Amino acid sequence: MSKIKAEIIGIGSYIPKKIVSNSYFLDWEFYDAKGKIEGKSNEEIIEKFKAITGIEERRWLDDDMVASDMAVIAAQRALEDSGIDPNDLDYIIAATNFGDVEKGSYFSDFMPAVASRIKDRLKISNPKSVAFDVIFGCPGWLQALIMSNQFMKAGDAKYAMIIGVEALSRVIDPYDRDAMIFADGAGVVIVKINTDEEGSGILSYKTVSHAHPQAGLLYNAKSLNPEHNQEARFIRMLGHKIYEYALTEVPAAMKAAMDESGYEIDDLKKIFIHQANEKMDEQIVRRFYRLYKKQMPENIMPMNINKLGNSSVATIPTLMDMVRKGELKNHSLQKGDLIMLASVGAGMNINAVVMKY
């Protein structure tokens, strides 16, 4: 095993100020998959939604902002935390699935790349600092982190910025009850090459892609309301099938990464899992521990989905930033802690990383 690895030396995040509680959706008109108005009351729909997802409220970005605006703020905070010169960055990798979408528009703007926009806004003039985007579903930020690790192992990078940013409030169907899950946010880490065999950084990882036959579990589609803008496309998911898929495949990927790390599962201090669905995430981690014939420890899995919702690629880095700052009760993150990061999402893709913070 190569001793070269990517080490996190800075973290920054941006959580939108706008709080959208579940009561916001009481006046929405929900339609089913057949284009008919839901027969259940909104109160009943929202109550069941909260019981399954754990979400009480979520954050949406201001009307005059786009995704890259959030990312720039988070990036500035991460750079300040790291203490490095921005022009020393070899790579700027932005994980995002919809790019910049202006309020009232249904157009995903990816040209130039979100990463290129961020580099420009940060005034990074070094032409050798390569900026590009990664579209990999919700696991995109973690996949970008893995890519930075590989660049460093190849001798192609010393520093990299890994960005996870999404404004899902701009791509939800206002007639879809699943729209209540989605949120906005940005999280950024700065990583540095570390050649100390016992030092901090990525120890092992596992990435899998089940595009066949699960590519269609998350997709873009017309509004459920046949009278609403039929030219627009909105994010849509087959929630129950995703739930079943995740509970089967994610624990196995986590175990594969753990087994290759050289450490025991009891050495783990924290598991940072993509904030997709509270009930689903808890079951994933419980099943992971069952693979080792162990019980899930208390306080192993910090969660913020109840207040922040599901911001896709931004959930893990924003969660890590909150824990590091001591903003979640009974959770902390110290240098040298052995942690696992895991995510699942559109593709369908899964990844898991074991690292020393």
- The CATH number assigned to the domain holding 211 equals 3.40.47.10
Residues 41 and 118 both lie in one domain: yes
224 and 144 within one domain: no
pLDDT tens profile 75-133 = 999 999 999 999 999 999 999 999 999 998 878 889 999 999 999 999 999 999 999 99
pLDDT digit string (tens) for 253-262? 999 999 999 9
Helix (H) or strand (E) holding 38: none
Q: CA distances (Å), 236 to each of 72, 205, 221, 224, in order?
A: 28, 29, 6, 10
The answer to whether 32 and 209 are in contact (CB under 8 A) is: no
The residue among 167, 194, 221 that closes a domain is 194
Among 194, 213, 230, residue at a domain's last position: 194
Q: Which domain holds residue 21?
A: 5-194
Phi, psi of 39 (to 5 degrees): -80, -20
| Average confidence score pLDDT of the chain | 94
Query: How many folded domains does the chain comprise?
Result: 2
Kindly state whether residues 44 and 159 are assigned to the same domain: yes
Candidates 161, 156, 162, 157; CA nearest to 142 is: 162
Q: Residue 2: what pLDDT?
A: 65
Alpha-carbon distance 267 to 287, whole Å?
17
Task: Give the pLDDT confidence score for residue 232 in this predicted structure.
Answer: 87
**232-255 tens-digit pLDDT:** 899 999 988 999 999 999 999 999
321/264 same-domain check: yes
